[in-house]
Amino acid sequence: MLKNDKWILEKAKHGMIEPFEESLVRHVEDRKVVSYGLSSYGYDLRLAPSDFRVFKHIPGTVVNPKRFNPANLEAVELQSDEDGSFFIIPANSYALGVSLERLKIPSNITVICIGKSTMARCGIIANITPAEASWEGYLTLEFSNASSADCRIYANEGVLQLLFLEGEPCQTTYADRFGKYQDQPQFVTLAKV
C-alpha cells in the first residue's frame, strides 16, 4: 500500500527523514523554490550542496561498474545568483549528487525515488531507484540531462519524490544482508559490485 502524509509525518517524528519539512515548501523568504517537503502521498527530497559530479568523456575509456574509475567523474562547482544555489548539468550528460536528507527506512517499507515533473520539463531525468527495507543513509542521486541545452539543478531544493510502499514483512532486509550501499555518507557513493 502507498503510504500517505499522516503516516510519513508520524514516521519522520521517529527519524525516518532528517531534516524533515512538515509541509510542501514553495517559497524561501521572498524567493520561489522547486518545491520540497511533505506532499499528499510522498516526500519531495532536496539536493545537497556538498557534492555534485558529472561524467566526463575520456576517449578510449569505458565505464565499468566492476572497476569503476573515479577519474570518469568531474566535480562541479556550486554557483549562486538571485534564483539560488545551483549546479550545471551539461547538455546530453549524466551527473551524480547526494540527498540533503538522511533516510532510515522501516523494515516493512520500500521507497521508490521518482523524478519531479518540474525537473523533467527542463530535460532532467532522475533515475528511478529503490531504497529497500531497513536501508539507512544519504541517497546518491542520478540525473540525466536529456536536453540539448545545459540545465541548472538547484541545491537545497526539490529534485525527486519519494514514494513509500508497505509490504508484508520480508524475510531478509537490506540491513540484514549487509547491503553494499548501507549507511552512505553525504557525498557521492560510486558504483560497487
Domain assignments of the chain as residue spans, ordered by start: 5-57+71-166
Within 8 A by CB and 6+ apart from 154, the residues are: 33, 34, 47, 83, 84, 85, 86
- List, for residues 21-51, the tens digit of each pLDDT value: 999 999 999 999 999 999 999 999 999 999 9
CB 158 within 8 A of CB 101: no
**CATH for 5-57+71-166, among 2.70.40.10, 3.40.190.10, 3.40.50.720, 3.20.20.140?**
2.70.40.10
- Work out the percent of the chain whose per-residue pLDDT is above 90: 84
* Cα 37 from Cα 89, distance rounded (Å): 24
- Of the candidates 22, 136, 142, 157, the residue annotated as catalytic is 142
pLDDT number for residue 104: 98
pLDDT number for residue 193: 87
* DSSP β-bridge partners for residue 24: 37
pLDDT averaged per 10 residues, the chain (length 193): 98 97 95 97 98 89 89 95 97 96 97 96 94 96 96 98 95 91 90 86
* DSSP β-bridge partners for residue 27: 32
142 catalytic residue (yes or no): yes
pLDDT number for residue 155: 98
CB burial readout 159-175, b (16+ within 10 A) else e: bbbbebeeeeeeeebbb
Average pLDDT along the chain: 95
Q: Could you give the angle at the alpha carbon of 183 between the alpha carbons of 181 and 184, nearest 5°?
A: 65
